[in-house]
Every structure is written in structure tokens, then in C-alpha cells.
Structure 1
């Protein structure tokens, strides 16, 4: 047996073609390509959707010039060879106008993931995504963890990881650091877990 160096399962261009085809043929297909590996995201269930609605309203009430975009795919990773579909990307309004399926992540102030109840959540949302978002330089990563009933605020990316991670249980007030500068009352999150 020959030992070979780690290499991606496919090229970024191959992934983008696959993702375009999958979206056209399988309604709601949400493929991602992070750290050279292909993965799929679980469809957004009702409680996950309700969580994103709550967060969108909180952001709009406090910073109406910002928008929590829950559709846009992002170019991520140290060499910008990853493709992620965050559950939400907080950006100045109208930021992604004219962007294709995979937008530059430079204007993103915060990415948001709400855990799903699938087997990949631990690897994807708690390990791979924080690393990819930190490598990209996205200032804040908010993980709403429905398994542990906690909110995790990752901030101060240093190029490979977030230097600060604050973990608070649902029900506590969460102050999202600058450049976001929004405070969340997380009590309602208790209503949208199993």
C-alpha cells in the first residue's frame, strides 16, 4: 500500500458544478465543501426556522442597517477554497446584491449556525465551521446549540481559530461583541428544542 499526502476529495470547481446540479434536481439540497470535504446540510426544520426568525427580528430591531441573510453561500477557509452555507450571515443591507451562489465573505460581520439533529452536527458546526470562519476572518461566529441548550459566541479570529469563545445557557442575556454590538435575550430559544 502506498501512503499519499492528504488531498481534497474534489476540486472546488467540481464541487460548484455538483452543487448547482444538486440544487436543480433535489429541491432544497444544501451542499457544502469545507476543508476539502463534501457534506450536506440537513433541511431547516420548523423550530430551526423559528430560531432564525427570532434572531432576524432581534438584529433588525437593534441594527436596522444590517440584515441576517439566510440564503447566501460563502467562500471560506484559509485559501478561500471552501464553500459554506451558513444558516445566517449578518451583513450590511444589500451587501450580496449581484453576488453569485458563492459570495465573498469579506463584508460578513457574523455567521450563524443552529444545530440540527443529524449525525454530522458535532463535526460540522462545532469543529469545521468555526475553523473555516476563523480562517476567513469573519469577526463573530454564533452557534445556537440546540443539543446542549447553549449559545456559543466565537470572536477574535486569529487566522486559524477564534481566540475567545463565550458559552451561555439558553435564558441568559448574550452580548455579541463588535462589530456586531447586539444583545440577545435568549429565553425564547428554550421553546424551539426537542
Structure 2
């Protein structure tokens, strides 16, 4: 479990991650060393809620919670705030940040301002840091893609893109079909 980095002026990564956690007002994330505010629109939140509502019952059965807590990528200048992460409740308790490998599923919903970040940068980094499942809800392309089997060179299994309205299978431990018709 990752904990909040303490300020250390001799370590730029720790100093940057400390700073992003202490920004007043909106939440922020660090994407490849650039601090970006996290300010989703209601349309964006509606798409995330559609997915969350379908996975929440199964997440609870698995002893997990769903949320948008911090994910630390140690050894890099990245500190992500996913739209949804499914994590074991016991690991989340008392944690400031978790590692992508501690999630069961990460979901990102694209926005006009960050679609390529979710499609390219986060997909690469989540695989590198072993997030087992990465679901991209691409509102610009009106599609959903599930990435699995992570490795240093990326995800080795891709299911999609599927157009909004299709059903997409989340493998075990979820074992459920997501209905994307409400995303249309």
C-alpha cells in the first residue's frame, strides 16, 4: 500500500506528489510530470455512474469499494485520479493512495480535454504498473474498450472497441456483462 509522500526537497518526485496533494480547491493529478486539475462535467459523471451502478453490487460481494481515490505510480512523475477504481476495502482503509496493482479494475471516462491521455498515456502506465483490468469509456468515439493481462510493454489482451449499446464482459473476479446502452 502506498502512503502519501512526505515533502523532500532533494527528491523531485516526492516533492511533486506532495505538492499535488496540497493544492487548495479542486483535486489534481499528475500526468507525465504535468499537474492537471480534475474537473469532470455532469455528462462525464453520468457515464461514470452508469458503469459504477452496474459493478457496485459485485464489488461489494468481493469486499471491495468503488471510488476515485489517488493512485501513485512510484518511480515516475505520475499521480492519477481515476474516474472509478475497484479496490479491496481493507486496502483502502487509511490509505492516501494505492498502487494500480492493488486495484481489481480501473475505469477512465474520456473528456474532450483528456481523451488521448486516457487512451494512450494512462493505458500504457496502468499496464506498466499492473492494473489487472482497464476499461476506457470513450465518449468522443462512443465506444468501450477493456484492456487486460498487463505487462511492461502494455496490455496483451484487448476487448473492443465496442460501440455504445453493446454488452462487454468483465472477466473474473467480476464475471458480469456491462450494458453500455445508457451511454448512448
Bigger mean CA deviation after superposition, 152-161 or 136-145? 152-161
Tell me whether 1:156 sits opposite 2:153 in the alignment. no
Q: Could you report, residue by residue, the CA deviation over 1:60-79 in whole angstroms, capped at 9, with x for unpaired residues?
A: 23342332212x111226x4
Moved over 4 A (4+): none
Change (3 A) 1:93 1:33: same
Tell me whether 1:134 sits opposite 2:111 in the alignment. no
Aligned ranges 1:83-94 → 2 under 5 Å: 83-94=79-90
Q: TM-score under structure 2 normalisation?
A: 0.83
The match for 2:56 is: 60
Change (3 A) 1:153 1:183: same
Matched length: 171
Q: Could you report, residue by residue, the CA deviation over 1:54-104 in whole angstroms, capped at 9, with x for unpaired residues?
A: 22210123342332212x111226x4653111111112234311112x323
Question: Any conservation in 1 of the 2:104–2:133 contact (CA below 8 Å)?
Answer: yes
For residue 72 of structure 2, the aligned residue among 47, 72, 75 is: 75
The match for 1:31 is: 29
Q: Which has the higher strand share?
A: 2
Q: TM-score under structure 1 normalisation?
A: 0.79
Q: What is the DSSP-based 3-state SS (H/G/I as helix, E as strand, rest coil) of the residue aligned with 1:112?
A: strand
- Give the gaps of 5 or more residues in structure 1: 1-9
**Whole-Å separation in 1 of the counterparts to 2:54 and 2:180:** 10
The match for 2:98 is: 103
- Give the gaps of 5 or more residues in structure 2: 1-10
Question: Any conservation in 1 of the 2:29–2:78 contact (CA below 8 Å)?
Answer: no
